[in-house]
Amino acid sequence: METQLEALRRHTTVVADTGDIEAIRTYRPTDATTNPTLILKAVQKEEYRYILDRILTDHRNADVVEKTNRLLVAFGREILDIIPGRVSTEVDARLSFDVNGSIDRAHDLIALYEQSGIPRERVLIKLASTWEGIQAARQLQSEGIRCNMTLLFSLPQAVACAQANVQLISPFVGRIYDWYKKAAGPQWDEAANAGDNDPGVQSVRRIYEYYKAYDIPTEIMGASFRNIGQIRALAGCDLLTISPELLNELNSSTEPLERKLEPEAAKRNPPPREATDEVAFRTGLNDDAMATEKLAEGIRNFSADSVKLDALLA
């Protein structure tokens, strides 16, 4: 009997959200995504200690930035040996408001991949969906360096990313859900806010419908899931990046899973066009308390884990 994971693959490209190489080998995703938190978690496991040790031994005189870049690329290369598609490697979140710094770091990462025989087409550079991150992506895309915009919580961010011709966006489902649940406090009704009614699901659906209505080629990859109900509600999204724990849950269930998102359905009732300039971006983001807070929180947390990674490599 078909599992939910098998059914999902018929509608959506399945991506593994992890730095755990063995988990990737087990679930056979098409693509994989990493971030500083996932790499920090993976590198502290005994089975991946050899990657860290190799960097420290072979590049003992390099500065911490180069060591970090080499560590990220080393994990990316290991992952690309297993999957048929692309790996996402993240630029340091501390550069989220630095256009030139983000571009330079992306160049460094791509150069390391290409030096090891990995073509740039198999790498997505992850950048935070700040205005500065999006402008860095615009420049990188013009150079043939494909970008994955992360920490995305709102339609204004998604529209600005589309205007910059980025390859892919990663709207965060679970973190939106977290914010609304916390804001509601004791009044939160889990059943009433599940599945299609989940606020994170609704945010991704809004972006999906906008993109498909106007034939925007940027790929949409739902991310940051808290339960398989959120994943089931977004079946049909271009891609979904899923943790090993939830991949296992999907792989263990044989309940029916149907497609929920259809490009043609979005075109039948197109939403109004959104403005795409910087003022519209900053105003729209500022008007959305959830998106503003979760973007800032995400940058802080990823930055903190980058500092911890620096300490391991120093």
Catalytic residue positions, numbered: 126
What distance in Å separates the CA atoms of residue 99 and residue 41, rounded to the nearest whole number?
A: 28
Structure tokens at 288: 């959305």
Structure tokens at 269: 């009732």
What distance in Å separates the CA atoms of residue 246 and residue 242, rounded to the nearest whole number?
A: 6
What distance in Å separates the CA atoms of residue 222 and residue 230, rounded to the nearest whole number?
A: 10
- Tell me if 167 sits within 8 A of 147, measured CB to CB: yes
Structure tokens at 227: 């339960």
Segment (H or E) for 128: strand 123-128
Amino acid at 142: S
> Locate tokens 């390391």: which residue?
112
Q: Which residues pair with 15 in a beta bridge?
A: 31, 241
Q: CA 295 from chain center: how many Å?
A: 13
What distance in Å separates the CA atoms of residue 57 and residue 53, rounded to the nearest whole number?
A: 6
Residue 20 burial (CB count, 10 A)? 23
- Tell me if 120 sits within 8 A of 139, measured CB to CB: no
Q: CA 80 from chain center: how many Å?
A: 17
